[in-house]
Amino acid sequence: MADESASRFVDLDRYPITDLDAPAAQSLIEHCCQDLESQAFSVLEDFLTADAVSQFWTESMALAGDVVRRGAVRSTYFDTPDQEDPSWPIGHPRRQFFRTNWGVVADDLIPDDHGLRQFYEWDRLTDFFSQVLQVKPLYRHADRFQALNINVLNPGDEQAWHFDGMDFVVLLYLTTPDGGGELECASLVRTDDDPCYDKVAAAFDGSYPQLHRRVPKAGTLTIMRGHHSVHRVTPVEGVTPRLTAVLSYDRVPEKREGDAINIQIYGERIRTKIASGFNR
C-alpha cells in the first residue's frame, strides 16, 4: 500500500485531489464527469509533475528487457481474417481488418519501488477516480499480471480500432512521441442494445461527428469509457517510443482474470509462473 508520499507525483496546484471534499476538487470532479458524459473521456494535461515524468520514464525504460511484443491483423470485434463471416456484406465493419502491433510489460514485472507502482496503489488516487467514474466503491484490479501495465509502441507500431472489454480505464502517458501515436476515439458509437454498425463505419471513414484525436503528451492522464466508444492509436512516428501506463480498476473486489487470457497476452512465462504457485 502506497503512503501519502505518492502525492509528490501530481501537480496538486492544478489538480487538488488530496482533499476531495474541497470546492476546488469538487469542481475538478464535476468537469471530468461532464467530459465522460459528453465524449466518454476526460483529459487532464500535465497531471504529473516534471520530476514524476522524468522518474517514470527512467524507471520504465529500465524494464525494456521485460517487454513482450504482440502483433495481429484483426477486426474491431477481435476476429481474424480466417474467421471472416461472409454473411456480412463486403465493407461491413465486421469484415474490415486492421493491423495492430505493440509491446507490454505485465504488472508482476513492475517492481514495488517503481514510482508507477506507488502512484497506482495510492488510495487517494483511487478515491478520485471513484468519484469521477461515479463507481462506489471502486477497486484496483487484483490480477498481478493485468492490474498495472506499461504499453510500449515503438516507431511504426499502432493499435487497431477496438472497443474495451472493461467499462472504464485510466491511461497515463509517460512519453511524447515525435509524431503520430494519437488516440483517435469515436465517442459513444454503440449502446448495450444496439451495435450501431453504421456509426462504427462512419468512425472508420472519418465522417463520424464525434471523432476526437488526442496527441499524446508525457504527464497527461486520460480517464476513458471505451466500452461503447470505438478507438485506436495511429502509427507512431520518429524515434521516441510511445509509453503509456494502463491503470485498471473494477467494481468487483479481488478481480482476477483467467490463466488462458493472461498467457495469450503476456506469453508462455505466465504458464510457468502460475505452475510454480505464484500468488496472483
Predicted local confidence at residue 3, as pLDDT: 64
Contact 207, 83 (CB under 8 A): no
Mean pLDDT, residues 195-208: 98
Which amino acid, residue 194? D
Residues 222, 170: contact at Cβ < 8 Å? yes
Cα-based distances in Å from 217 to 164, 197, 275:
22, 32, 40
Tell me: pLDDT of 1 over 50.
Answer: no
pLDDT in tens, 217-250: 999 999 999 999 999 999 999 999 999 999 999 9
Whether residue 177 contacts residue 248, with contact meaning beta carbons closer than 8 Å, is answered with no
Mean pLDDT of 114-120: 97
Residue 231 corresponds to which cell in the numbers above?
478507438
- Distance of alpha carbon 65 from alpha carbon 61, whole angstroms: 9
Map grid coordinates 484483426 to a residue. Answer: 74
- pLDDT at residue 277 is higher than 80: no
Task: Report pLDDT digits (tens) over 124-172.
Answer: 999 999 999 999 999 999 999 999 999 999 999 999 999 998 889 999 9
Across the strands, what pairs with 184?
Answer: 213, 232
Please state whether the predicted TM-score (pTM) of the whole model is above 0.85: yes
Q: Provide the β-strand partners of residue 70.
A: 102
Domains of the chain by range and CATH? 24-275 (2.60.120.620)
**Worst-scoring range by mean pLDDT, 30-39, 129-138, 254-263?**
254-263
The pLDDT of residue 38 is above 70: yes
Q: How many alpha carbons fall within 13 Å on the CB side of residue 108?
A: 14
Within 8 A by CB and 6+ apart from 249, the residues are 126, 129, 133, 135, 138, 139, 140, 141, 168, 169, 170
Crossing angle (nearest 10°) for helices 123-133 and 23-39: 50
